[in-house]
Amino acid sequence: MLVRILGSAAGGGFPQWNCNCNGCQSTRAGDMNAQERTQSSLAVRANNGSWFLVNASPDVRQQLERLRDEVPNSIRSSPIAGVLLSDGEIDHTAGLMILREADEPLQIYGTDAVKQGLTEGFSVLRVLKNYCGVNWINIEPGSKVNLSNNDNLGLEVEAFSLPSKAPKYMRSSSPVEGNWVVGFTFRDRDTGGVVTYAPALAELSNSILERLENSDCILVDGTFWQDNELLALGTSTRTARAMGHLPLSGDDGSLIPLSKLSCKRKIFTHINNTNPILIANSTEHKIVEAAGMEVAYDGLSIEL
């Protein structure tokens, strides 16, 4: 299995267009320790199989260019076989509008709740219906879906439930009760490799920790360093936890329990522009590395 991080930043990217925090300013100034990053997205495939896109960010056009490993043999071609959505947030679904130019209906995997949001709230599915079309494949927590043509080998994905609430664009309507946020565990049935992806973690329950422990590689929520990160900057009235993200630091943060896991690779992704771990020579970045964790960057490839 090959995994490629297409975008490692949270919504808005790094630098964020309207932010003048230390990290964003350092990036604009050309600081080599502050690498630009696009918005959170992932691609995964089995050996010699098709790529599957996990979340379609607003930066999807340039991100998909990272997947063109072969010379095309036709004037039109797509580097992906389908899109998996972990939630219905705009920063994970706006890129679907770019994909409207596909020659065939888009294969989109997601929960019933996310489908409702993308039909009634942010109505991208209605738009796509009149362009390329959509083939929606329902995937609910606990269900396993074969992503390859071979029934016995190849790539399998399992969704698992995460604490969640409906996106802001659905708050004024009557959203269904359901799974608005899921994580994905990918299993390569040829090699036995297991990767778990969870860009939004509000808590680390025993069941989630067990799932992460049983993975070879984890790609998990690294959005905020501190719970009051945005409050301290005066850019928000909500804490990290109120926004559905467990901060890294502190006795009750994610770094300590994740550092104790025995999986081969542990990587923070979906990192907000205000998080100092984005600065390679920062104290916080060094703390993460000392704990046996990695900080994701765009283009990082992992083979299992």
pLDDT at residue 151, as a whole number: 63
List all residues 6 or more positions away from 99 whose beta carbon is below 8 Å from its beta carbon. 56, 60, 83, 106, 128, 132
Q: In 3D, which of 262, 246, 136 has the Cα closest to residue 198?
A: 246
Could you report the per-residue pLDDT of 130-141, keeping only the tens digit for each? Answer: 999 999 999 999
- Average pLDDT rounded to a whole number, residues 9-32: 97
Give me the residues paired with residue 159 across strands: 184
Q: In 3D, which of 92, 96, 31, 87 has the Cα closest to residue 61?
A: 96
Q: In 3D, which of 244, 239, 301, 261 has the Cα closest to residue 8?
A: 301
Could you report the per-residue pLDDT of 96-109, keeping only the tens digit for each? Answer: 999 999 999 999 99
- Residue 47 — very low, low, confident or very high, per pLDDT cuts 50/70/90? confident
pLDDT at residue 178, as a whole number: 85
pLDDT at residue 69, as a whole number: 73
Say if residues 80 and 67 touch (Cβ distance below 8 Å): yes
Cα torsion angle, 273, 209, 203, 225, sign: negative
Distances in Å between the alpha carbon of 83 and those of 17, 51, 75, 109, 280?
26, 9, 22, 6, 31
- Percent of the chain residues past pLDDT 70, beyond the cut: 96
Cβ-based burial of 152 (10 A; exposed 0-12, middle 13-18, buried ≥19): exposed
Residue 148: pLDDT over 90: no
Residue 73: pLDDT over 80: no
List all residues 6 or more positions away from 125 whose beta carbon is below 8 Å from its beta carbon. 115, 118, 119, 134, 136
- Percent of the chain residues past pLDDT 90, beyond the cut: 88
pLDDT at residue 175, as a whole number: 65
Element (H, E) at 230: helix 229-233
Could you report the per-residue pLDDT of 202-237, keeping only the tens digit for each? Answer: 999 999 999 999 999 999 999 999 999 999 999 999
User: For the CA atoms of 94, 98, 104, 110, what is the dihedral angle to 10 degrees?
Assistant: -10
Residue 174: pLDDT over 70: no
Instruction: Give me the CATH topology for the region 2-303.
Output: Metallo-beta-lactamase; Chain A (3.60.15)
Residue 193: pLDDT over 90: yes
Give the Cα separation of 285 and 273 in Å (integer).
14
Q: Report residue 202 as tokens.
A: 């509000």
pLDDT at residue 1, as a whole number: 95
